[in-house]
Amino acid sequence: MKIELKQIEFSERMSQETNCFTANLYIDGKLAGDASNQGHGGPTDYRSYTDEGRELIRKAEEYCKTLPPETHTMGGETFTLDMDLENYIDNLLNQYLREKELLRFRKSMERAMKKSLVIGIPDESYATITFKVPLETIMSSPNKPEVMVNIIKKHVIPKLVDGNILLNTNIPESFLEQAGLSKEHYQPHKKVEVKTTKEQVAKKGKGI
């Protein structure tokens, strides 16, 4: 059975003890009803306004009861939670919010790459190393291979500890290899062409 949330509207401001949201509830590709939570710590509600929708929800409730329970750890104690449609809907919303936050994180990191060296743990955290001129300007200089190799040796390699790697995907891998980085020290990326024309200059970013 396929259970989905669509047209999700989430309010971070109204989310106090639980996530405040409204969404359309789809079951096996059909609009069955809607789901919502007021954000005050109460349960997630779902409802339908048609006989067909109520029947779809009934089947979804029975389906969720067949799913394995979830295990959670809180305060050093482990407990299990039986799966039901309410918990299933909450999981769908949490997945949506995680994916939305991850997309925002990646876009922010991509913007940072244009002007800085970016070091961190993929999809978790990052910090930037900025210079007097943006990275794009350095990359467009005539002697960029030598300059970039020296910068990586001096500023990047000492910081590659505790799982941190170079996250920039806009530096040719040949430069990284010349600097002595192995593949586990940088994020895999598509081949970057070495350009000789000056690229667009981004605003100076915050460094570490």
Structural domain contains residue 69: yes
Cβ atoms of 160 and 186 closer than 8 Å: no
Task: Tell whether 59 and 152 lie within a shared domain.
Answer: no
Neighbours of 93 (CB within 10 A): 19
- Specify the pLDDT at position 190: 62
Q: Transcribe 144-175 into DSSP letters.
A: HHHHHHHHIIIIIGGG--TT-EE--SSS-HHH
pLDDT, the chain, mean: 89
How far does the chain reach from its first CA to its final CA, in angstroms? 48
Nearest to 101 by CA among 122, 118, 123, 119: 123
Number of domains in the chain: 2
pLDDT digits (tens, 9 = 90+) for 74-97: 788 898 999 999 999 999 999 999
Task: Tell whether 96 and 177 lie within a shared domain.
Answer: no
Structural domain contains residue 53: yes
| Mean pLDDT across 191-208 | 39
pLDDT digits (tens, 9 = 90+) for 14-57: 999 999 999 999 999 999 999 999 999 999 999 999 999 999 99
Q: Which of 109-113, 134-138, 158-162, 202-206 has the lowest mean pLDDT?
A: 202-206
Q: What is the domain range of residue 173?
A: 114-185
pLDDT digits (tens, 9 = 90+) for 130-168: 988 889 888 888 877 899 999 999 999 999 999 999 999
83, 105, 127 — which closes off a domain? 105
